[in-house]
Chain A
Amino acid sequence: MIESGRGEATEEQLARLLESFRSDLMRFAFWLSRDRSIAEDVVQETMLRAWRARNELRNTTALRPWLLTIVRRENARFYERKRLPTVDLDEVIANQDVALALNDADPEIADLRRAILALPDEYREPIVLQVLGGFSTGEIAKELSLTVPAVLTRLFRARNKLREMYGIGTASTEEAP
């Protein structure tokens, strides 16, 4: 049972809480997998695992990062299990579902989404964990089995690459005058 404001939460409360995270998990899974169908599979499996482990949950405060961690591992496991071939980015973006996901009334946002999709995994994953998942650099380091300085470097480079692809130009690290 999980600890809530007053004592233990019921299964119904936990079920509702888990369901409330579904959209968050789908977004997260989509940015990791870049495929809507895989994201759905991954989230489904994540929900199932979380539900099976419900009796071992202690409180709801860390539920979201815990779920995101499962999503990340399930996504990695999915690719490992399926041995999916590397796909061309143009094919990814041409996919109707993905195109629909990237659309936005603001063309700048749509462009930025395409830039995010084009980021290599090593940069996309930490930036998604940080901005969408709300993870600290320490938590990202633990998730990705990296050192904190390495995470900082990846985050810095990820933003630079995005700004470059987005047309802003890279951030300068030259000494200011």
Chain B
Amino acid sequence: MTHVEARELIGAVPDDASAELLAHLKTCPQCQAYREEMLAFNAKLRRALELDWQKIQRTAPAGGPPSGLLYGGETATAAPVQPGAPAAAPAGPAPVAATPVADRATVSVLQRKARAPVAKHKRPRLFALAASVAAALVIGGTLWLSRPSESLAAEIVTHVEGEPNSWHKTQAVSAEQLDAVLRKSGVKLGNGMEPVVYASSCWFRGHFVPHVVVSTKDGPVTVMILLHERVTAAQQFNEDGYAGLLVPAHTGSVAVLSRKPMNLEQPAADVVHALQTANSPAPRGKETLPRGAFRGVDPAQGMASTLLPSLL
């Protein structure tokens, strides 16, 4: 591979890990430096593309899309669509006729409405409106604050359910493969984890996150490193047959899951430790979990306790 070919490939796919490119990089510090530069730029690019859509929606005018539209009684009797089996034919559905009026009615009308003029000399109405808005904000805020961990656990389980084959891996993945997965999410891991037998960079809540499976003496454990999800204390959950534990980490949080009740604290502690040692300049020693990490977890009770209601 020539320098030109290497740089064109890096410029197109900065995290390309083909053997040919890696072999070239070993002998070419200039191209290696260029790759580092492009990886850094790509991280910025990803951050730029990941708009905080929730923030925009919260300030959006009336007429935006309703949440939970799919719970609104939409029936399956509409025109058939051919999505193809997604795995085999990821091409989307074939074009279909315009959406029936009935369907439209069950979803929403997304046109912006002109702002109605506010009538003068009607202060009571204004006060009532202001009070309603304030009450809505308080209620909405309360719901919003109480939402994350519960839905986070459910979303983690839903995601893991989508990759059932990950549980059956037994061969340790290569260091290069693991590095590529971690690098895509900007995650660094130190030593101390059990062997990683599955590693995938998965899209989760607007970010690529490392989804790995480690082989422990008690069986496989799924680990998701969630740099963008914060939890204030450790939370156990039993969801759809999975036992899980969410713990705060150096940055964000770590989720560990197993398919049977088992002690998940040690695997979680190993990951948190590996994150701390790789991201902290402090000298290595006996690392501890963040304060309050396992608050509320009863070791004697283990994973039998159900802190979250079953959502499925």
* Contacts from A to B (Cβ < 8 Å): 3-6, 9-10, 12-13, 15-20, 22-24, 26-27, 30-31, 36-37, 40-41, 43-45, 47-66, 69-70, 72-73, 77, 97, 100-101, 104, 108-109, 112-113, 116, 127-128, 130-132, 134, 137, 139, 142, 151-153, 155-156, 159-160, 162-163, 168, 171-177
Q: Are A5 and B164 in contact (CB under 8 A)?
A: yes
Provide 8 A-B residue pairs closer than 8 Å at the C-beta atoms, listed in order of the A residue.
A6-B161, A40-B65, A52-B78, A53-B93, A57-B83, A131-B46, A152-B12, A177-B30
Q: Are B7 and A171 in contact (CB under 8 A)?
A: yes
Identify B164's interface contact among A4, A65, A162, A175, CB under 8 A.
A4
Identify B92's interface contact among A31, A55, A70, A176, CB under 8 A.
A70
Q: Is B280 an interface residue (CB 8 A)?
A: no
Q: For chain B, residues 48 to 69, give those with C-beta under 8 angstroms from any C-beta of chain A.
A: 48-51, 53-54, 56-57, 59-60, 64-65, 67-69
Residues of B within 8 A of A151 (CB): 12
* Contacts from B to A (Cβ < 8 Å): 2-4, 7-9, 11-13, 28, 30-31, 34, 38, 41-42, 44-51, 53-54, 56-57, 59-60, 64-65, 67-71, 74, 76, 78-88, 90-93, 95-96, 99, 103, 107-108, 110, 112, 154-155, 158, 160-164, 201, 203, 205-206, 208, 240-241, 311-312
Question: Given the complex of chains A and B, what is the CA–CA distance between A43 and B65 in angstroms?
Answer: 9
Question: Given the complex of chains A and B, what is the CA–CA distance between A53 and B139 in angstroms?
Answer: 35
Q: Are B46 and A61 in contact (CB under 8 A)?
A: no
Contact residues of A: prevailing secondary structure: helix
Q: Are A159 and B12 in contact (CB under 8 A)?
A: yes
Question: Given the complex of chains A and B, what is the CA–CA distance between A120 and B201 in angstroms?
Answer: 29
* Closest-CB distance, A144 to chain B (whole angstroms): 12
* Closest-CB distance, A123 to chain B (whole angstroms): 12
Do A52 and B76 contact each other (CB < 8 Å), given the known contacts A26-B53, A66-B90, A70-B92? yes
Q: Are B51 and A159 in contact (CB under 8 A)?
A: no
Question: Given the complex of chains A and B, what is the CA–CA distance between A90 and B55 in angstroms?
Answer: 23
* Closest-CB distance, A154 to chain B (whole angstroms): 8
* Closest-CB distance, B167 to chain A (whole angstroms): 8
Residues of B within 8 A of A41 (CB): 110
Most buried by A among B4, B8, B208: B8
Q: Are A49 and B12 in contact (CB under 8 A)?
A: no
Question: Given the complex of chains A and B, what is the CA–CA distance between A172 and B44 in angstroms?
Answer: 20
Residues of A within 8 A of B70 (CB): 15, 18-19, 47, 51
Extra A-B contacts (17), CB below 8 Å, given A6-B164, A40-B110, A159-B38: A4-B162, A17-B158, A19-B67, A30-B51, A37-B110, A47-B70, A48-B99, A49-B93, A60-B162, A61-B163, A62-B90, A100-B56, A113-B48, A116-B49, A128-B49, A142-B91, A162-B45
The chain A residue with its CB closest to the CB of B158 is A17
Q: Are A109 and B48 in contact (CB under 8 A)?
A: yes
Q: Are B11 and A160 in contact (CB under 8 A)?
A: yes
Question: Given the complex of chains A and B, what is the CA–CA distance between A56 and B88 in angstroms?
Answer: 12
Do A66 and B47 contact each other (CB < 8 Å), given the known contacts A15-B70, A163-B41? no
Residues of A within 8 A of B47 (CB): 109
Identify A15's interface contact among B4, B71, B83, CB under 8 A.
B71
Which 4 residue pairs spanning A and B have beta carbons closest together? Answer: A62-B86, A5-B161, A69-B92, A155-B12
Do A97 and B99 contact each other (CB < 8 Å), given the known contacts A37-B110, A69-B90? no
Q: Are A97 and B56 in contact (CB under 8 A)?
A: yes
